[in-house]
Structure 1
Amino acid sequence: MGEPLNDLRIGVIGAGAISGQYSRTLARLPHLPITSIADLNPERAQTLAAAHPGARTETVGQLLAADDVDLVLNLTVPAGHGEIALAALAAGKHVYGEKPLALTLDEGRKVLQVAADQGLRVGCAPDTVLGTGIQTARSLLDAGRIGTPVAATAFMTTPGHERWHPDPEFLYRPGGGPLLDMGPYYLTSLVHLLGPVATVTGVCARPTSSRVIGSGPRAGTAFGVEVDTHVTGILVHESGAVSTLMISFDVWAARLPRIEVYGSNGSLSVPDPNRFDGDVAIFTVEDQQWQTVPPSAGYVEGGRGIGITDLAQALAAKTPHRVSGDLALHVLDVMETLLRAAQEGRTLPISTPCERPPGIESLLTDW
C-alpha cells in the first residue's frame, strides 16, 4: 500500500464468539501479532491462542502489565467495554474495542479524556465501514454522482438474535438492545456517508417482556427483556440531510433496503453495513435506471480487525485513524440521545463534536 506501518503487539481481552473473526484477520497481519489472551473461560482463551503461535493465556492483570502488549483488543460484553478500556489506558496501552465504545456517554467521554491525557489512541468497531461496500458508495457521493444528498433511510430488521446465539441475555440488558447492538453499523456508515448528526427524534417500543433461547445447550430457556427492542429515529445531519432509521428485534420478515441515500440528481443503494463488501447501485436522472457499480474503494476482502491496521498506519504517519474514539463517542451520543428523545417525546441536540472521517480513495488489496 505504500503506507508506513507501526508494529503493534496485541493483547486480547475476551475470547468469545466474535474473537474468531478478529483472529482470522489478524493472522494475515504480521505487524499486528497477538501476544497475550485473557478470558474468564480458560478453554476459550486457549482455543484462540492455538491459532496464533507464540500467544499465551494469562489473567487480565498480567496482560495489562505485560511489556509485549502495545494495544488491548477489548472484546468483552458491552457492560465491560468502558471499564476494560480505562484499565488498559491506565496501563499505557492503546485500545481498540468492540462497539459500543462504553455503556454510557459519560463513561465514553472519560475513556477519551484519559486517552488524550496519556497520548494514547482509541479505536472502536465497526470497521466494516472501511470495506468496499461503504467506501465505494462514499466515493460516488463525494464525486457528486447523485448531486447534493437530501435524505437517507437505514433499516435493520430481525426477529431477534436469541434464535441463534447460545447466550443472548446480554443483548437484552442495558448496553444491548437492537440500537446499541446493531445501530453502530448503520449510524457509523451514515456519518461516513453524510457527516455528523446535529439533532435526533425517536420512538421506541418493547412488545414482549421475555424471550426464549433457540439454540445451544440452553435452548428453551426463557429470560427477561430489559431494553426497548424496536427503535425508530429521525436524524438531521449537520449537512442538512435527513436520515430515517429503524432498528428492530421484532420483525419476522421485511423487504426493505439496508441503506439508501437520496440526492438532488439520483439515488444510491448501499449494501449491508454489517459486511465489508456487497453491491452498490446507483440511479441518476440522466440514466433513469439502476446500475450496479464495481468496487472502487476500500479494503478488499476485509474482515473484523482491519480497523486496527488502519490505526497502526495512522499512528506511524501521525494522522487521524478512521474508526476513531471520537466517531464512536458521537455514535454513542446519537444512540443514547435518541433513546432519551423517545422517552421525553421531543427532539434533542447531539452534543459531541465529530468530523466526517477521511475516505479511502482506492481499492486496498495488500493490507
Structure 2
Amino acid sequence: MRIAIVGCGYVADYYMLTLRNHPNLAVSGAFDRKSDRLREFTTFHKIPAYDSLSALLADTSVEMVLNLTNPGSHYEISRAALESGRHVYSEKPLAMTIEDAEDLVRIAAERGLAITAAPCSILGEAALAAGQAIQNGRLGRVRLAYAEMEDSMVFRERFHDWRSPSGAPWPADDEFAVGCTLEHAGYYLTWLCAFFGPAQEITAFSARLFDQKGVPAPKGGWAGDFSVACLRFADGVVARLTCGLAAPKDRSLHVVGTEGTLTVTDGWNYRSGVWLRDPEGRPMSRIPKLPQAFGRIERYLPGRHWLGERLPLGPNRAVTPGYPSRMDFSRGPAATAEALRAGKPVPMPADFALHITELALVAQDAARFPSPYKPRTAFAPLPIN
C-alpha cells in the first residue's frame, strides 16, 4: 500500500526508520507546513516532498495518510484525508475532544474507510505473549492490574539538545502542553482494553506538579504532568494506570490473578521480558519452600521482578530505535494495510481507537468529567494472536 506522511517532526523519523521492516508499505511522499523541516526530512530520507496538503491529497497513488502532526492538528488533517477517500493512521490521540474523535469515526464508517491511531504496541511480541498467557488461563481469573507510565523529570534533562535522525527538535512545547497522559497513557490503555474489553467505568485524578518546564509556558499554563486512573472492566477486573513526569522511569505492568501474577518490565520495548510468578508474586517451583527462599533473596536484588518463568516471545528481527523506546512504529500502519488488502478486519479498529482516546482524555483532564465516569464508547472484543 502506498502511504503519504503529513507532519515531518520528531516522531516521523521513527516511522521512517521502522518502515524497512514492512515491505508492504511504500512512501509516495511527505508534507509539512514548515518548509525548512519538510526539506530536511525529505532530503534525509530521499522521498518526494509535496508543496501543500492539497497536492498530497490530489495524488491518486496515495491510499493511506499517516497523520504525524501535532495533536492539535489531528482532527483537521484526518478529516481532510478521509473526505478525500484515504484511509488514516494517526498518531495519538485521534482528536483533542471526544466529539471530534467520534466525528472522524463517523466519516470513516460512512465512506467505508479505515481510521485508527497509535500506539500499536499491542501488536508487539511482549503484549502478545502477555495477552495469550491471560487468555489461556495461566493466571487463573484476573482480578487486578497495575500499569506504570512514569517518565521521570524530563524537563530537567537536556531536552533542548535532543534531535531526531533528520534533525527535528524534541517537541517540548507539545509534550508539556498536551500532557504526559495523552502522550503516554495509550501505551497501556491499549493493552488493558485488548486483554479485558471496554472499560465500564473510570475514576481519575490529575494534577500539575511542576510549573517550570524549561521553556516559556503557554497562556493558562502547562497541562497536568501527573494522573492516576482506576478502571473497572467486565467480570470485576480492576486496573490502576499512572502517568507522570515526576517519579523515576517505570514502564512496568503487573497483572494479578487467582493462580499467578504476570509482569512486563518495559511496555516501550516490543521484546520486553514477560515473567510469570505465583499468586504471591514469587518465582514458581515444584521444589517445596524454594519460592519462599527466592522471595527473601529478591528483596535485596535490583531486578526483583525479573525472577520467575520467562515467557517465550514470538520471533521477530524488526529494526527498532535504540532509545528511548524499542518499538516498531510502522507496525500499526503495516498491519492495517495488510488487513485491508486481505479484506479482513483491521487489528485496531476505529471503535477501539475511539475508546482509547476517550479514556485518555478523561484521565488527562479528570476535573472536567464526572467521577466515576461511564464511557460512552465501546468496541467488540479483539483477537489476541
Q: Which band: TM-score by shorter chain?
A: 0.7 to 0.9
Say if 2:337 is the partner of 1:312: yes
CA contact (8 A) 1:101 1:124 kept: yes
Q: Which amino acid aligns with 2:2?
A: R
Q: Distance in 2 between matches of 1:55 and 1:356?
A: 40
Assess, with a 3 A threshold, how the Cα gap between structure 1 residues 300 and 28 changes in structure 2: closer, same or farther. Answer: closer
State whether residues 100 and 180 of structure 1, in contact with CA within 8 Å, keep that contact through their aligned partners in structure 2.
Answer: yes
Q: CA deviation at 1:293?
A: 2.2
Q: Which amino acid aligns with 1:11?
A: A
Distance of 2:174 and 2:237 partners within structure 1: 34
Cα distance change of structure 1 residues 52 and 338 upon mapping to structure 2, 3 Å threshold: closer
Q: 1:347 aligns with which of 372, 379, 382?
A: 372
Following superposition, the deviation at residue 53 of structure 1 comes to: 5.2
Could you tell which deviates more after superposition, 340-349 or 259-268? 340-349
Any idea what the Cα deviations from partners look like across 1:256-282, whole Å, max 9, x if unmatched?
561110001010002322222210000
Equivalent residue number for residue 356 of structure 2: 331
The structure 1 residue matched to 2:176, chosen from 144, 162, 172, is 172
**Residue 222 (structure 1) aligns with:** 216
**Cα pair 1:132 1:300 within 8 Å, conserved:** no
Cα 1:61–1:161 shift into 2, 3 Å: farther
Amino acid at match of 2:374: P
Aligned to 2:102: 109
Map 1:53-92; keep pairs closer than 5 Å. 55-92=48-85
Letter in 1 for 2:337: A
Match of 2:241 in 1: 245
Code of the aligned partner of 2:182: L
Change (3 A) 1:177 1:12: same
Partner of 1:200, secondary structure, is strand
Structure 2: unaligned runs, 5 residues or longer: 163-169, 286-290, 295-306, 319-326
How many pairs does the alignment contain?
341
AA of the residue aligned to 2:263? S
Distance in 1 of aligned mates of 2:366 and 2:380: 23
Flag the 1:12–1:108 CA change in 2: closer, same or farther, 3 A.
Answer: same
Show the counterpart of 2:324: none
- Does structure 2 conserve the Cα–Cα contact (< 8 Å) formed by 1:155 and 1:257? yes
CA RMSD of aligned residues (A): 2.2
Corresponding residue for residue 41 of structure 1: 34
**1:153-194 deviation per Cα after TM superposition (whole angstroms, max 9, x unaligned):** 011223344332544111222xx1111011111111111222
1:136-215 correspondence runs (5 A): 136-162=129-155, 163=157, 164=159, 166-173=170-177, 176-212=178-214
Distance 1:161 1:72, change over 3 A: farther
User: What is the aligned partner in structure 1 of residue 313 from structure 2?
Assistant: 296
Question: Is the 8 Å Cα contact of residues 268 and 283 (structure 1) preserved in structure 2?
Answer: yes
Give the superposition deviation at 1:345. 6.5
**Distance apart, 1:341 and its partner CA:** 4.7
Distance 1:332 1:299, change over 3 A: farther
Distance 1:52 1:311 in 2: 23
| Matching residue's letter, 1:100 | P
Give 1:300 deviation, angstroms: 4.9
Change (3 A) 1:299 1:194: farther
SS of structure 2 residue aligned to 1:311:
helix
Say which structure is richer in strand.
1
Structure 1 residue 19, shift from structure 2 partner: 0.9
CA distance in 2, matches of 1:208, 1:344: 23
Q: Deviations over 1:277-323 (max 9, x none)?
A: 21000013563474242433485536101111111121122222122
Q: Alpha-carbon deviation of 1:198?
A: 0.6
Residues in 1 aligned to 2:213 and 2:47: alpha-carbon distance in whole angstroms: 42
- With over 3 angstroms needed to count, the CA separation of the structure-2 counterparts of 1:181 and 1:54, relative to structure 1, is closer
Q: Structure 2 CA distance, aligned partners of 1:257 and 1:69?
A: 36
Kept after mapping to 1: 8 A contact 2:18/2:330: yes
Residues in 1 aligned to 2:188 and 2:209: alpha-carbon distance in whole angstroms: 23
Give the whole-Å Cα distance in 2 for the aligned partners of 1:237 and 1:249. Answer: 27
**Change over 3 Å in CA distance of 1:340–1:94 after alignment to 2:** same
Asked whether 1:272 is paired with 2:263, we answer no
* Unmatched runs of 5 consecutive residues or more in structure 1: 1-7, 213-220, 361-367
- When normalised by structure 2's length, the TM-score is 0.82
Compute the displacement of 1:47 (Å): 3.6
Residue 97 of structure 1 contacts residue 125 of structure 1 at CA under 8 Å; is this kept in 2?
yes
What is the distance in 2 between the residues matched to 1:332 and 1:167? 21
Identity of aligned residues (%): 27
Provide the secondary structure at the position in 2 that maps to 1:349.
coil
SS at match of 1:223: coil
Decide whether the 8 Å contact of 1:202 with 1:345 is kept in 2: no
What is the match of residue 20 of structure 2?
Answer: 27
